[in-house]
């Protein structure tokens, strides 16, 4: 398990080294004004801890409610769950051994919620015997159609990777 965590930490650092860039969303150049969607961001939590207390996982993740298009709302919520929780299903928290101890916390903040663009910053923090890793993942989604406008990663090295 420690090897897996070390590999993830090294991969995270390696990804961030590739490119330094800024994320810019799509701009609507049409002369028509689009009605603004009302979106409510709801906080959900997934918490797991080993019986021996060696390993823990706490994920606070966002879900949205209130869109006029239920299909788009469902699409965005599925993508949010994927972005927040995917990658953590491999951790065997129940059977965590003392040498594999780790603590993972995932939080988020909504950075912008206007002009039909919802921007979320996900903060991933992991501490283990091999050290600490901090990964920031930001993305923007158009709440009218559910399309991802922009996606960036930033790790503890301070470098960004533009993914879209």
DSSP secondary structure letter of residue 43: E
The answer on pLDDT for 154 being more than 80 is no
Q: What is the Cα–Cα distance from 132 to 126, expressed in whole angstroms?
A: 6
By DSSP bridging, strand 55-65 and strand 102-114 are parallel
Tell me the chain's radius of gyration from C-alpha atoms. 18
Helix, strand, coil tally for the chain in percent (to 5): 20, 40, 35
The answer on pLDDT for 82 being more than 80 is yes
Give the 3-state secondary structure of residue 105.
Answer: strand
pLDDT greater at residue 153 or residue 9: 153
Per the CB < 8 A criterion, the answer to whether 121 and 140 are in contact is no
The answer on pLDDT for 31 being more than 50 is no
pTM (whole model) above 0.75: no
pLDDT greater at residue 84 or residue 11: 84
Q: How high is the pLDDT of residue 32?
A: 56
User: For the chain, what percent of residues have pLDDT higher than 70?
Assistant: 73
Give the class (CATH, top level) of 2-20+37-162: alpha beta
Q: Can you give the residue ranges of every domain in the chain? A: 2-20+37-162
């Amino acid at each position: 398990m420690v090897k897996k965590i070390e590999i993830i930490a090294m991969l995270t650092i390696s990804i961030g080294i590739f490119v330094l860039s800024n994320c810019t969303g799509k701009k609507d150049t049409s002369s028509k004004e689009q009605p603004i969607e009302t979106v409510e961001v709801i906080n959900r939590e997934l918490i797991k801890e080993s019986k021996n207390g060696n390993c823990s996982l706490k994920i606070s993740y966002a879900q949205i409610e209130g869109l006029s298009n239920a299909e788009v709302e469902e699409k965005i919520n599925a993508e949010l769950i994927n972005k927040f929780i995917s990658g953590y299903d491999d951790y065997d928290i129940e059977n965590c051994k003392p040498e594999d101890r780790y603590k993972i916390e995932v939080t988020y903040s909504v950075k912008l919620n206007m002009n039909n663009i919802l921007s979320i910053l996900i903060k991933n923090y992991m501490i283990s015997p091999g050290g600490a890793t901090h990964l920031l993942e930001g993305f923007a989604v158009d709440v009218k159609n559910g399309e991802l406008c922009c996606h960036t990663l930033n790790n503890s090295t301070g470098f960004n990777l533009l993914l879209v």
